[in-house]
Amino acid sequence: MLLTLLFVFFLANAQSLTTNTGFHEVNICKKYHENCSPKGWRSTSNKLFGYREGRQRGKYIRLLVFNGAKKNDRKFAQTDLLCPLEKGKEYLISFKVRPDQFKLEAIGILFTEEMLFAKELALNNYAESCVNIPLPKQLKEGEWIQVEYNYVAKGNEKTLIFGNLLTDELTKNNPFNEKQYKKYLKSYGPKQRIEYDFDDVKIIPLDGKINCDIEIIRKHLYQDSIRHSMRRKPVVVLEKSIAKPLKKEGKNIKTEPELKFTSSSPVTPTPLEIPKVIVLQNLEFEFNQWGLKEAAKSDIDKIFEVLKNHPELSIEIVGHTDNIGKEKDNQILSEKRSQSVKEYLISRGIQADRMTVLGKGEIEPIADNNIEEGRQMNRRVEIKIE
């Protein structure tokens, strides 16, 4: 018991080599009305990882770890370490995880010499180099749990990438609740997206010794305020950019064009013929309902015309709720609302694999939840065109 208490104290007070471990510090940039990324963290592609805030827990990130509708579809988070790992030295890797309704056996960690950026990471390339950390048997749906793993460094690991690095064939996932899953199947068909929440990602030298000036490095990392989405046209404000070029993975991958920054000057995006985010103004819902109103279908028909005329485009459908009721119930409700839009577009002839659905629950209001008019506006669906 005493040893356990001492270890908990050590874990809480030890210096981590990952910056912004709890994702509480936010970049200063804005893109439309979305929240920005946590400082010091990026995605490996132009796919957004979720950046959320709970009522009690505070900020955390959400990663797509499996997608039954698209082979090896993943979202990863990555960060430069405050100090390279030393060969032969032992480190504690720890993080908190909260699963959705499916249980995975492991979460992967990949160390590289620099950040990776590719449209899709070729998971087979990392089968031998990644570390798959087993998840505890006590893992429960919707509950946070601490995961810890001892790692002996190979030397000069500078960047941490984490998520599900196993291919679909090697990913074992089973529903926590078979009965509830059968109901889910009746409503939505075979499972598609599995998303896990993560918080307090730390790498701690077990000897407690750090041989570099981490505060200077942290300051440099925080000056880089590029959004985690890595989109071609971010809206950012930097005092000074120190971002290094990203390593291109594989061949024939289009990397992002170089962004040039000036002191206190925003980067203004080139006007687009098709907006990147569309808020469906008439797609508001009655309390605790997800069925589409007739007035909403005319707006969705406009999205249909865009997709029909531009077969190269895909969309992400994002559902939102007000803050009435339990947070978990609102999360489920928001997913149902985005799913209802997808089903309507499928009925019009749009292929299902061109659309992904996402629910953000109550965490991103655009109006005052203290009045009925504001809550009505917050019960909405947004379309992100990619």
pLDDT the model gives residue 281: 56
For domain 277-385, the question of CATH label 3.30.1330.60 is answered with yes
* Over residues 60-79, mean pLDDT: 90
pLDDT the model gives residue 201: 96
pLDDT of 11 > 60? The answer is no
Percentage of residues of the chain with pLDDT beyond 70: 73
pLDDT of 268 > 50? The answer is no
Spans of all domains in the chain = 2-248, 277-385
Output the pTM of the full model.
Answer: 0.58
Split at pLDDT 50, 70, 90, the class of 310 is confident
CA distance 219 to 35: 21
Name the least confident of 19-28, 138-147, 238-247, 298-307.
238-247
Choice between 240 and 160, residue whose per-residue pLDDT is larger: 160
Topology at the third CATH level for domain 2-248: Jelly Rolls (2.60.120)
Choice between 203 and 224, residue whose per-residue pLDDT is larger: 203
Choice between 274 and 342, residue whose per-residue pLDDT is larger: 342
